[in-house]
Amino acid sequence: MPKEEREKKLERLVGGGVTEEEYVLGLSLRPKALAEFIGQKDSLTSLSIAIEAAKKRKEALEHILLSGPPGLGKTSLAHCIAKELSARIIATSGPAIERAGDLIGILTNLDKGDILFIDEIHRISKVVEEFLYPAMENFQIDFVIDKGPFAKTVKFNLKPFTLIGATTREGMLSEPLRSRFGIFLRFDFYTQDEICEVIRRSAKILGIEIEPAAVVEIACRGRGTPRLANRLLRRVRDYSQVKGDGKITAINVKKALSFLKIDEKGLDEFDRRYLKVLIEFYQGGPSGIEAIAANMGESADTLMDVVEPYLMKLGFIKRSLRGRVALKPAYEHLGLKYKEPV
């Protein structure tokens, strides 16, 4: 599915897509250094050690793979790493690198110590991926000149650089590509306390007056995801300015998110529809993701990347060899009578 079409389908309030407005606002809310980065403490500790060691040796940092659901801060962390290393960062995405020539052009323009950040790295083509292997391993690229009996391979030496790849689907990476990364950081959903800290920081930057109880109310619905918590904060701010005196209170949060049809678990109509299709149409499962996607008129990728991770975290569904299965808490949340899966 083309990236533009995919992003269009993700324009839910609690979806994983990023609107142009959010991208601009995200730049101001994005942490500028590792010390400002909230959450993922275990990963940050090991990363800080690797950065300091690389700086002492005056070498390029090892290649890093960041994996986890959308909105947890993979792109932000890549920029923080560049800041810590005082390095230039060149950002692109897997679908944007359509031909090997595109990648060669990027690699040959990298200076020593530069960082190449590739978002959605699992979506690069196999042809492009082949060019990454020698570039990552030996800082060289091989390309062929001429054709037929006159063809010859030319090696081009690159300046040492660090590749940071981000993916929401680590399982889709080929083993040869995965094995060439030296540092693996897996992002998990944030705790409620961490989301509260994110909201307080964002509110301070945006100049929003917010009650402590309101922070907790938003965090409960933030799905353990900083991007979504910030999105809800802005929507509640709009509601408070129009319907109240501008100050965000717990009452305003409940009214605003009720108006937006986001429940106390952070689920919206799309999430509830997924659960209802699984429970009512497929009798709670097991059901294949393609069947659910077809019933909902959505892509399977959208459901797997954006909807299912949080539902699994809540214990509402599980993935089995036979397909998706709805669990008892999902029935209880929807007010339905639980029925044991066949």
- Between β-strands 162-167 and 64-67, what pairing exists: parallel, antiparallel or unpaired? parallel
- Rounded to an integer, what distance in angstroms lies between the CA atom of residue 93 and that of residue 247? 39
- Residues annotated as catalytic (active site), given as ranges: 74-75, 119, 168, 227
**pLDDT of res. 195:** 92
Instruction: List, by residue range, all CATH 1.10.8.60 domains of the chain.
Output: 192-259
Q: What single letter denotes the amino acid at residue 312? A: M
**pLDDT of res. 116:** 92
Q: Would the pLDDT of 25 be above 70?
A: no
Q: Which residues neighbour 43 within 8 Å (Cβ) at sequence distance 6 or greater?
A: 185, 186, 187
- Rounded to an integer, what distance in angstroms lies between the CA atom of residue 116 and that of residue 136? 11
Q: What string of DSSP letters covers 194-215? A: HHHHHHHHHHHHHT--B-HHHH
- Rounded to an integer, what distance in angstroms lies between the CA atom of residue 69 and that of residue 334? 24
Identify the band that residue 11 occupies on the pLDDT scale cut at 50, 70 and 90.
very low
Mean pLDDT of 231-243: 86
Q: Work out the number of other CB atoms within 10 angstroms of the CB of residue 336.
A: 15
Instruction: Enumerate the β-bridge partners of residue 154.
Output: 143
250: left (phi over 0), alpha (psi -120 to 50) or beta: alpha
Mean pLDDT of 96-117: 86
- Rounded to an integer, what distance in angstroms lies between the CA atom of residue 23 and that of residue 69? 18
Instruction: List, by residue range, all CATH 1.10.10.10 domains of the chain.
Output: 269-334
Q: Work out the number of other CB atoms within 10 angstroms of the CB of residue 193.
A: 12
- Rounded to an integer, what distance in angstroms lies between the CA atom of residue 119 and that of residue 146? 33
The CATH number of domain 192-259, selected from 3.90.850.10, 2.60.120.510, 1.10.8.60, 3.40.50.1370:
1.10.8.60
Mean pLDDT of 197-206: 88
pTM confidence score: 0.79
Q: Do the beta carbons of residue 113 and residue 85 sit within 8 Å?
A: yes
For residue 164, what is the enclosing H or E element? strand 162-167
- Rounded to an integer, what distance in angstroms lies between the CA atom of residue 232 and that of residue 14? 8
Sign of the CA dihedral 329, 335, 337, 342? negative
Q: Do the beta carbons of residue 256 and residue 240 sit within 8 Å?
A: yes
209: phi then psi, degrees, rounded to nearest 5: -90, 120
Domain 40-186: CATH class, spelled out: alpha beta
Q: Do the beta carbons of residue 80 and residue 32 sit within 8 Å?
A: yes
Burial class (CB in 10 A: 0-12, 13-18, 19+), 93: middle
Instruction: List, by residue range, all CATH 3.40.50.300 domains of the chain.
Output: 40-186
Q: Would the pLDDT of 196 be above 90?
A: yes
| pLDDT single digits (tens) 141-166 | 877 666 667 666 777 888 899 999 99
Instruction: Enumerate the β-bridge partners of residue 89.
Output: 115
Tokens read off for 208: 């929003």
Q: Would the pLDDT of 107 be above 80?
A: yes
Q: Which numeric CATH code is attached to 269-334?
A: 1.10.10.10
Q: Work out the number of other CB atoms within 10 angstroms of the CB of residue 176.
A: 11
